[in-house]
Amino acid sequence: MALAAALRVPARFLLRAGSRLQGAALGLTERAAGGGDGARRFGSQRVLVEPDAVPGVAVMRLNNPPVNRLSLEFLTELVISLEKLENDKSFRGVIMTSDCPGVFSAGLDLKEMCGRSPAHYAEYWKAVQELWLRFYQSSLVLVTAINGACPAGGCLIALTSDHRVLADNPKYSIGLNETLLGIVAPFWFKDTLVNTIGHRAAERALQLGLLFPPAQALQVGIVDQVVPEEQVQSVALSAIAQWMAIPEHARQLTKAMMRKATASRLITHRDEDVQNFVSFISRDSIQKSLQLYLERLKQRKG
């Protein structure tokens, strides 16, 4: 854990003075609540966190309607919420789930990647990197209760967790489908998927932009359990209890050992990765592709 601890910077320092994100950070509130660890819950406009009845467990609910797109503000609120849980020693595990019906997270917010300045693209990508590094290296047990569609960036969040439970609903699928939008998943997206399902399965999934329905997701190993939708939360609680039953020090050190190489690769090449993203996303062809996709989405909603 020494590496992870040394590399972590409090999330508040990610916020620049005068930034529009500062209001989101200051909007995090704590209030008394009955039951649970410390009888406390906290949250923000987009992230709701409360203690579960099971001691040591918090539930983090993603609440950025309509589809939990990962905007710059939402990314920052997620990181701050996780940091608060890590600093509260009464919590040892977190269940992540969605408060948006039918969707866990639709992934990266394309509006943050289209028609903006290179400086904005860089700021946004740094926030995406920070989210992945914080969740992937967290000392807490993270279990994802996937109660809706989980493509692209939503899948990436799920892949940072220790255990994934997916609702058995044919409308729900999970995968890194960036190529379908003309976008190339960066190396650390790829590394995370390879670590989960193996090289050949990941190569095929990434090139074809595959989204796995529940049965296939379980078969390929991108999720650990598929259960009836009404049982997702209870099964996630059972799973987190199994992980939390392991001696904490041994589990944390093992997790850090297993994930160190993957995290270190991004940390070492972080600036280069930002530059590559800004260069790629700024291309006229990519911008036109994103604009067309956003226009089609707008027409569908209309």
Catalytic residue set: 108, 153, 177-178
b or e along 185-220 (b: 16 or more beta carbons within 10 Å of the residue's beta carbon)?
bbebbbbbbbbbbeeebbeebbeebbbbbbebbbeb
Give me 91's structure tokens. Answer: 């919590």
Parallel, antiparallel or unpaired: strands 57-62 and 47-51: antiparallel
CB 97 within 8 A of CB 232: yes
Q: DSSP E strands: which ranges in the chain?
A: 29-32, 40-43, 47-51, 57-62, 69-70, 93-98, 102-103, 107-108, 141-146, 148-151, 163-167, 174-175, 225-227
In angstroms, rounded to a whole number, what is the distance separating the alpha carbons of residues 21 and 56?
A: 30
In angstroms, rounded to a whole number, what is the distance separating the alpha carbons of residues 117 and 296?
A: 23
In angstroms, rounded to a whole number, what is the distance separating the alpha carbons of residues 85 and 74?
A: 17
In angstroms, rounded to a whole number, what is the distance separating the alpha carbons of residues 234 and 147?
A: 12
Q: 144 forms bridges with which residues in the sheet?
A: 96, 164
In angstroms, rounded to a whole number, what is the distance separating the alpha carbons of residues 36 and 56?
A: 8
Report the Cα–Cα distance between both ends of the chain, in Å, rounded: 50
Cis omega (within 30 of 0) for bond into 66: yes
